Amino acid sequence: MNVNMFKAADYVPQDAGLSYQNTLPAVEELPLPRDFTWGTATAAYQVEGAAFQDGKGKSIWDTFTHLDPSRTNGENGDIACDHYNRMVEDVKLMASYGVDVYRFSIAWTRIIPLGGRDDPINENGIAFYNKLIDCLLEHHIEPVVTIYHWDVPQGIYDRYGAFLNTVEFQADFEHYARLCFSRFGDRVKRWITFNEPYIISIFGHHSGVLAPGRNSTTGGDSRIEPWRVGHTIILAHTSAVQTYATDFQPTQKGDISIVLNGHFYEPWDAASEEHRLAAQRRLEFYIGWFGDPIFLGKDYPAPMRARLGSRLPGFTLEELDLLRRSAPINSFYGMNHYTTKYARALPDPPADDDCTGNVEEGPTNSEGKTTGPLSGMSWLRVTPAGFRKLMNWVWDRYGRPIVVTENGCPCPGESQMTKEQALDDQFRIRYFGLYLDAISRAIYDDGVKVEGYYVWSLMDNFEWSAGYGPRYGITHVDFTTLVRTPKQSAKYLQSSFKNRRATNRR
């Protein structure tokens, strides 16, 4: 899940949402290709629970959520949605929704509790994911597997700082990925190495609001560490891609790539060249940072090199060669996207630890116009036009088929609603409908190749630093009883995809 630092003030009251809902455009239910796939997405730490069951080891999120004072609203993922023990029920629920795909992540510490390449393997963890994959296939649901979704083993973090040691982490991640390919790759045909490296780098090692919580005031270095972490992720991803392509892909016949998150950015003042350049620069600092090396096989974007100087690590000639050879193997672009913001060029010199390209982002432009109606979080506005523009930007720059691997929103005031109110999630339905219309326009009017759409999320879950406050699920979860109840949005999606794909324009 793509997050900002959630706190109580970020939640939008329910009464605010009622007025905003009336300002949303009508949904047109535009067509989609017959082979377009839809599904749901989750992450292991957010839904599995069973934090120390059956030999699972401790991850940095197990540590981070138990800090005192709490950085996660006094809540943790020890139980979460208890998906580990209720997996069959959840798969049957997805089957009842008619989904094509379930995108889930493997908890590294569930299969290698200490994380390292010389550490013991936990066969109980292997058995769980085998059972999940088999259960999905029995219900005609394709498993799409994320190898890493933010939960690095505490064992390797304690040993060498995880991402802060490129050589060690690259070797350990390659070993872990190889284990996943060898045990599950006979049935898994789509792999994602890392989820949202920007968030890992900036939120984990610059602001420190997500695990492991590093910044310049907690023993880290916000000037240098985020860029080192990003560099490590790119090289670890590339090693895993090469391993898959060389040793597994010829027989398993699957594909592999990475998921990048990103807002779209409009200029704060569209008449100003300075702010138009700032919007482009923000996209390059956010998406191009990882996209250019991984999908183009080249160095970081020039504006990053120019502005960050020695803070940004360099690729060796050998690493650049590896990037060039690996770029074509990344066969799709995984896109996590939620909203659009305005980008304003800052007049003052950047801070020493600037990570934006000296750009301020916000919901309002120079004329006081907002990007769109507000959802249940103050940073997430309904902006389908920006979504369409981002798909075009990514397609034009990288030329890879796009799979929308996360998209969704909480309804305004949903966390304060009764269960009956939350189940009638009309705001979320309109959000989904508008964003699906944007995909249709991108495909048929703009020529962008978009292959699938996975909603965030299958169910209400543990939303990182926000705990159990915001609810993004198409399934309501009572966090006391853990009872699951379908929301209206689940029924809408099942019907909408059936109708859209039946009336496609191919």
Domain residue spans of the chain? 8-271+331-337+372-502
* Mean of pLDDT values over 313-323: 98
Identify whether the C-beta of residue 41 lies closer than 8 Å to the C-beta of residue 73.
no
Instruction: Give the strand pairing for 450-456 and 402-406.
Output: parallel
Length of the chain: 506
Model confidence at 503, in pLDDT bands (50, 70, 90)? confident
Is it the case that residue 9 has pLDDT exceeding 50? Answer: no
| SS3 of residue 307 by DSSP | helix
Q: What string of DSSP letters covers 185-236?
A: TTT--EEEEEE-HHHHHHHHHTS--STT--STTTTS-TTTHHHHHHHHHHHH
The predicted structure's pLDDT at residue 263: 98
Is it the case that residue 2 has pLDDT exceeding 70? Answer: no
* Mean of pLDDT values over 372-398: 98
Active site residue: 48, 174, 196, 266, which one? 196
The predicted structure's pLDDT at residue 4: 45
* Mean of pLDDT values over 39-47: 99
**Domain 8-271+331-337+372-502 is of which CATH architecture?**
Alpha-Beta Barrel (3.20)
pTM (2 decimals)? 0.97
Is it the case that residue 12 has pLDDT exceeding 80? Answer: no
Identify whether the C-beta of residue 178 lies closer than 8 Å to the C-beta of residue 172.
no
- The tens digit of pLDDT for each residue in 442-472 reads 999 999 999 999 999 999 999 999 999 999 9
Active site residue: 168, 225, 266, 406, which one? 406
Is it the case that residue 8 has pLDDT exceeding 60? Answer: no
* Mean of pLDDT values over 215-227: 98
- Distance between CA atoms of 86 and 286, rounded to whole angstroms? 37
Give me the long-range contacts of 321-326 (CB less than 8 A, separation at least 24): 322/235, 322/238, 322/242, 323/234, 323/238, 323/293, 323/294, 323/297, 323/298, 324/297, 324/298, 325/242, 325/297, 326/238, 326/241, 326/242, 326/245, 326/294, 326/297
* Mean of pLDDT values over 408-434: 98
* Mean of pLDDT values over 395-400: 98
Model confidence at 11, in pLDDT bands (50, 70, 90)? low
Average pLDDT, the chain: 96
Asked if 463 is an active-site residue, the reply is no
Is it the case that residue 352 has pLDDT exceeding 80? Answer: yes
* Mean of pLDDT values over 420-441: 98
Asked if 451 is an active-site residue, the reply is no
Is it the case that residue 506 has pLDDT exceeding 80? Answer: no
The predicted structure's pLDDT at residue 22: 59
Is it the case that residue 358 has pLDDT exceeding 60? Answer: yes
* Mean of pLDDT values over 188-212: 98
The predicted structure's pLDDT at residue 23: 75
- The tens digit of pLDDT for each residue in 239-248 reads 999 999 999 9
The predicted structure's pLDDT at residue 19: 54
The predicted structure's pLDDT at residue 391: 99
- Distance between CA atoms of 239 and 247, rounded to whole angstroms? 12
Instruction: Please state, in angstroms and as integers, the Cα–Cα distance from residue 142 to each residue in 39, 95, 106, following that order.
Output: 9, 11, 15
The predicted structure's pLDDT at residue 148: 99
Percent of the chain exceeding pLDDT 70 equals 95
The predicted structure's pLDDT at residue 491: 98
